[in-house]
Amino acid sequence: MSDWWKGAVTYQVYPRSFQDSDGDGVGDLPGLTARLPYLAGLGVDAVWLSPFFRSPMRDMGYDVSDYTDVDPVFGTLADFDALVARAHDLGLKIIIDQVLSHSSDRHPFFTESRASRTGPRADWYVWADPRHDGSPPNNWLSVFGGSAWTWDARRRQYYLHNFLAEQPDLNYHNPQVQDWALSVLRFWLDRGVDGFRFDTVNYFFHDRKLRDNPADFVERDEPETNPYGMQYHLFDKNRPENLAWLARMRRLLDEYGAASVGEVGDSHHAIEMMGAYSAPGRLHQCYSFEMLGRDYAPAFFRSRIEGFFRGAPQGWPMWAFGNHDVPRQVTRWLSHGADAETLAKQAGALLLSFEGSICLWQGEEIGQTDTELAFEELTDPQGIAFWPAPVGRDNTRTPMVWDDSPRGGFTTGTPWLPVKPPQLARNVAAQTGRPGSVLEFYRAMLAFRRLTPALRTGRSTFLDTPDPVLAFQRGLGEGALLCLFNLSATTVALAFEAAATPVGPVQNAVLDGGMLTLGPNAVVFLALNG
């Protein structure tokens, strides 16, 4: 099969926030289709769509009630087919989210499962009797707060939900559930999709014995905002049975020549799991939240990339700096930059020079920042549950800004989340064709990566450079490229004796004789001469 995905750049679209075509304030598939030429012109290889399936929207589509239909708020199946056709005409691949570890509690399967302990789908979800005192079966916690178990009076049992109570976990120990999930994938593959992004890919299986999770081994001076992080998640996820299931999915994907990427959510072993899950015969690639935090230091980035390939030389990572679940990268890292625009350009160049595949989050290419929201403006259940702690997700999900009109060109109606002046100031129209803008820098960087084999598939060799400089070579021999970044707002000068020529996008860097001067948030790529 084609390995187009290897070293490719995927652009994540949150359909609700990308482009509204009918004025209801919610983005939709026809709106996205109209904007596909922009994405093709940006220079990405693939577009990943967050869920657009039928859903009660308790978790904005990550609670699916019908896996083989489009929610009316986003359009129709015909709209989806038109989107795929248009993307393919433009040379873009389409990857769609699959939220298969849990469903909505409104899914007909859950309605049937909760109705009886003996029905055909009684064992399709994870049910357990209470302890003798009526309390939940064990100490497992929900990512969204509280117990991971909810009592159901109809069955007189608890059901498991790793997220909202409205998102009951499917029971993958049941082979019928696995067969059904494969039928869902086949439905979309038959409609022409090029691959899948699998949500919460390490949550499919649970411990059959329902053993308590131990306390986390990291000592804390005080409790975390979300107690979920205070457990070591040994039994509620990351189970060894997962590997055989990933292999089943891979065999189906190989029938169609489709690609896959899995989301690994773990606070301790994410890099190792990315490698294990993307080993030959399993998923094609995996990403985690490792680079979606606040670390912005040479040793940090080096340790993650070297750690992955040392542990999984035959695996393949997908690296990202942002997505729909975390604060935007410029907002997180602004203290490391001379200014937001310079930092945004460096972050883009840094990410796009990493070994592996790359995922961009919508709006990164214009240097977008998080939106400050009041409590009454929130829609995200996680943000509402933990207010005022900064753990919500609405701030990064506000609409894409296309121009400086009052609604940013996103809608003619009232947007589902507000578009505020600080975000309006960073828009596509104002940056298009402007030399030095974040958008044009991203376009140049994407073209440079596409045309430079070393950046797409060349191996990485890190150099021992003093902080705050990160330096590594991509590729060997002819065509090798030296990538250097000053991850600070302070100028650094390095003696540089090798014969080299600057190539590709550059920012605040000067090579003069035997001295390389790296200004604030400098970026420079050097072709080695001999």
Cβ neighbours of residue 218 closer than 8 Å, sequence gap 6 or more = none
The answer on pLDDT for 173 being more than 80 is yes
Q: Reduced to 3 states, what is the DSSP secondary structure of residue 54?
A: strand
Position 530 scores a pLDDT of 60
pLDDT tens-place string over residues 127-164: 999 999 999 999 999 999 999 999 999 999 999 999 99
Check: CATH 2.60.40.1180 for 459-528?
yes
Domains 9-101+175-449 and 459-528 share a fold: no
The answer on pLDDT for 421 being more than 80 is yes
Active site residue 255: yes
* Average of per-residue pLDDT across 412-427: 98
CATH number assigned to the domain covering 9-101+175-449: 3.20.20.80
Q: CB of 244 within 8 A of CB of 250? A: no
pLDDT tens-place string over residues 183-211: 999 999 999 999 999 999 999 999 999 99
Domain boundaries, the chain: 9-101+175-449, 459-528
CA dist 280 → 3, 103, 197, 251, 257 (Å): 13, 29, 17, 11, 15
Cis peptide before 388 (omega within 30 of 0): yes
pLDDT tens-place string over residues 20-42: 999 999 999 999 999 999 999 99
* Average of per-residue pLDDT across 266-275: 95
Percent of the chain past pLDDT 70, that is, above it, reads 99
Cβ neighbours of residue 18 closer than 8 Å, sequence gap 6 or more = 27, 31, 32, 35, 362, 399, 400, 410
Position 473 scores a pLDDT of 97
* Average of per-residue pLDDT across 280-308: 97
Give the type of residue at 480.
A
pLDDT tens-place string over residues 143-153: 999 999 999 99
Position 201 scores a pLDDT of 97
The residue among 527, 233, 509 whose CA lies nearest residue 346 is 509
The residue among 166, 148, 254 whose CA lies nearest residue 203 is 148
pLDDT tens-place string over residues 475-525: 998 899 999 999 999 999 999 887 889 999 999 999 998 899 999 999 999
pLDDT tens-place string over residues 372-394: 999 999 999 999 999 998 778 99
Catalytic residue of the set 179, 255, 372, 467:
255
The answer on pLDDT for 171 being more than 70 is yes
Confidence at 2, pLDDT banded by 50, 70, 90: confident
CA-derived radius of gyration, the chain: 23
pLDDT tens-place string over residues 357-370: 999 999 999 999 99
Position 205 scores a pLDDT of 98
Position 1 scores a pLDDT of 53
The answer on pLDDT for 529 being more than 80 is no
> Can you give the pTM of this predicted structure?
0.97
* Average of per-residue pLDDT across 292-310: 97
Q: CB of 95 within 8 A of CB of 48? A: yes
Q: Reduced to 3 states, what is the DSSP secondary structure of residue 362?
A: coil
State the chain's mean pLDDT as an integer. 96
Confidence at 64, pLDDT banded by 50, 70, 90: very high
pLDDT tens-place string over residues 70-100: 999 999 999 999 999 999 999 999 999 999 9
Catalytic residue of the set 45, 97, 105, 199:
199
The answer on pLDDT for 313 being more than 70 is yes
Q: CB of 193 within 8 A of CB of 174? A: no
